Amino acid sequence: MRSRRLACLLLGLWLGAGVWMQFVTATNNNSAESLLIRPSPDARAYMKSLGHVSLVPLTQYLAAEQNRALYETWGTAQIALSGAFFFLLLFGTRMGKVPLAIALLLFLIALGERLFVVPQMEMIGRATDFASDPSNRVRLARDVLGYGRSVAEVAKWVLALGVGGFLIFQRSSRSLDSRHEVDMIDKANYRHIDR
């Protein structure tokens, strides 16, 4: 029973960290714009000394680089979390084949996202950071990769909530009264068994 609770805790940490990552990356994008709209007094003086140079591409590039580093680190962390979750279910619980298959699928999605989607998104993102008008082919590739990443994230959430439901609502395969059934043989009513 403790290992099922630990698996639920690990799954909850994973989902919570995923929500936190979405918040941080959105905040990074918004901070690039707010930095230019409401700069500190020292930054305002420095910006005036630069003249009419547009800092918008530079701040957007900084936010994009921070997000790329976060996605890379988060992808590696997800592989570790999903691997630990799968092996905890495999060796620590008596779950059936369906929850184990879902946990393995979660691991494979996290691995595929980190090895294939994130590096491609980084490559295309860096190629278009300072491009004023990227070609249609590059925009299409960027949109397809972004859509693929979104689908992978939604799939991970659905599968994680599904396996969480299995962990919470599925009864243990061991009978709760098995200990009492063994101890009942020693009671006075069962002396006729020893004859």
- Per-residue model confidence (pLDDT) at position 21: 93
Every domain of the chain and the residues it spans: 2-171
Phi, psi of 171 (to 5 degrees): -75, 150
List, in sequence order, every beta strand (DSSP E) within the chain: none
The model carries a pTM of 0.78
Sign of CA dihedral 67, 68, 71, 77: negative
What b-and-e string marks burial along 2-25, b requiring 16 or more CB atoms within 10 Å of the CB?
eebeebeebbeebbeebeebeeeb
- Contact between 106 and 157 (Cβ < 8 Å): no
Residues of the chain with pLDDT under 50: 175-178
How many CA atoms are closer than 13 Å to the CA of 113, on its beta-carbon side? Answer: 27
Greatest Cα pair distance in the chain = 104
Task: Provide the phi-psi class of 146: left if phi over 0, else alpha when psi is between -120 and 50, else beta.
Answer: alpha
- Per-residue model confidence (pLDDT) at position 130: 80
- Per-residue model confidence (pLDDT) at position 36: 81
